[in-house]
Structure 1
Amino acid sequence: MSDRGTIVIHLDELLKETGLSKNKFCQRAELQRSQLNGYLNNTITRLDTDVLVRMCDTLNCTISDLLEYKPKS
């Protein structure tokens, strides 16, 4: 966690809610599996707005459903 806080990606929870498999999600959102794993594990360091748009469109969610800012406590 940085000294200012962190961004938490809720992709795993959203995938479970929709019932989409990881493979089907990658196909529909036009993602490579390695990209998906980075987002699922919260190890991605640079968020790509085009990727986020495709994720939200595929999951029929908003950016605030997908991302959460957690300030340093």
Structure 2
Amino acid sequence: MVRIHLSRILGEKRWTQADLARKTGIRPNTISEIYNELIERINLDHLDLICEVLDCDISDILEYVPNKKKKIR
């Protein structure tokens, strides 16, 4: 499973989702879906913008956590 740590990063910076949407130009609904880990696919351009604005690396935002139950056989 892939975990998204955008909520933690925004909390550390004391930014709101609206702040991030304004600074990146990404739609607020898209930011909300990423923030709440409801998104199934992330646009690479969006990741690039978020990393640039937050001055962080992709690995700060995304983390791979092995599944307890394997999805493939």
TM-score (normalised: structure 1): 0.87
SS in structure 1 of the partner of residue 64 of structure 2: strand
More strand by share: 1
Task: Spell out structure 1 runs of 4+ moving beyond 4 A.
Answer: none
Question: In the alignment, what sits opposite 2:34?
Answer: 39
- The count of residues paired between Structure 1 and Structure 2 equals 68
Gap regions ≥5 residues in structure 1:
1-5
Identity %: 29
Question: In the alignment, what sits opposite 1:3?
Answer: none
Question: In the alignment, what sits opposite 2:71?
Answer: none
Q: Distance in 2 between matches of 1:68 and 1:60?
A: 17
Larger relative contact order (CA 8 Å, sep ≥ 6): 1
Gap regions ≥5 residues in structure 2:
69-73
CA RMSD for the aligned pairs? 0.9
* 1:51 correspondence with 2:46: yes
Larger radius of gyration: 2
* 1:64 correspondence with 2:46: no
TM-score (normalised: structure 2): 0.87
SS in structure 2 of the partner of residue 44 of structure 1: coil
